[in-house]
Amino acid sequence: MRFVSTVPTLIFGAVAIVVLSIVFGSWYTIDQGERGVVLRYGAIAGTAEPGLGFKLPIIDSIVRISVQSQAAIYSNMDAYSRDQQPATMKLSVNYRIPVDQVATVYEQFGSEAGLLSRLVERRVFEESKTVFGRFNAVTAIQERGRLNQEIADAIQAGVKGPVIVDSVQIENIDFSDAYEASIEQRMLAEVEVQRLRQNAEREKVQAEITVTRANANADARRADAQAQADAVRLQAQADAEAIRVRGEAEADAIKARGDALKDNPGLVSLTQAERWNGQLPTTMVPNGAVPMIDVTGGAIRGSVSAGE
């Protein structure tokens, strides 16, 4: 009897569990950054918006697909430059699935992972290698921005399907160790050349400064010499003018004396008498005349007396 009474209880419990499973399995939630693909017996029956939704238990199922912007990283991408230098690139591709394309993504690719592997990844590898092959190794390093832009443009143009590639970024480019060593040596050589150029330019500027200073000193010396020459010339002119003035004064004086002597013949004798100290010369030249002594009629007298 106890066994018979237990059977209905077990049956009721099983039915309750099934009912609860069906009830709770009829509800689902979709996050804001997702969209749901509603499958009915495996076929696409529609899409589900974010929030709480209802589905037919057991019959319907929900596949969630993100519509947010995401990044796919592609590492160890081997490529060759135009000058046959091997390189390994690492790219990051930012992409997103349009809201109205989630059903197409599931229909054509089964999932987001299928979309990336079958559509995006193939184009990323192909286009990046093609574009990288147009650049020399040195150019790829020196013009990395242009390389990045051309790869991004090629990938965005090549990926055609229910996905939008927002941007592509070259994360890293690795060349062989031997080539990187040669690049380092080349860069060091360029740095040394640049240093020598800077030194040469500095020496050139210093030479120009020296020449400018020398010219300035020469100009100053020429100015000093010119000033001294001008001073000497002005002094000579002043001295000549003074000599001329003195000469004219002396000439005028001589002329005045001549005129005075002409008008007064006895002025010479008077001047001699006034300047004579009364002493006769101690030495006489034979047949020489005694100054200011006039011997007339046997008498000796002065040619000019004080009373005359």
User: Using an 8 Å Cβ cutoff, are 274 and 245 in contact?
Assistant: no
Residue with the larger pLDDT of the pair 183 and 280: 183
d(CA 123, CA 156) in angstroms, rounded, equals 9
Residue with the larger pLDDT of the pair 193 and 281: 193
Over 70: is that where the pLDDT of 304 sits? no
3-state SS class at 133? coil
Please state which of the ranges 80-84, 216-220, 276-280 shows the lowest mean pLDDT.
276-280
Nearest alpha carbon to residue 176 among 227, 137, 228: 137
d(CA 14, CA 293) in angstroms, rounded, equals 189
Over 90: is that where the pLDDT of 115 sits? yes
Q: What is the pTM of this model?
A: 0.55
Please state which of the ranges 73-77, 128-132, 141-145, 254-258 shows the lowest mean pLDDT.
254-258
User: Using an 8 Å Cβ cutoff, are 147 and 170 in contact?
Assistant: yes
pLDDT tens per residue, range 39-62: 998 899 999 999 988 888 888 889
Nearest alpha carbon to residue 85 among 176, 8, 11, 163: 176
- Residue 303: pLDDT band (50, 70, 90) is very low
Over 50: is that where the pLDDT of 140 sits? yes
Residue with the larger pLDDT of the pair 256 and 238: 238
Over 60: is that where the pLDDT of 97 sits? yes
Query: In the block, which residue shows the tokens 């120009």?
Result: 208
Residues above pLDDT 90, as percent of the chain: 38
**In whole angstroms, how far apart are CA 292 and each of 55, 75, 147?**
171, 140, 128
Distance of CA 263 to the CA centre of its chain: 99
3-state SS class at 135? coil
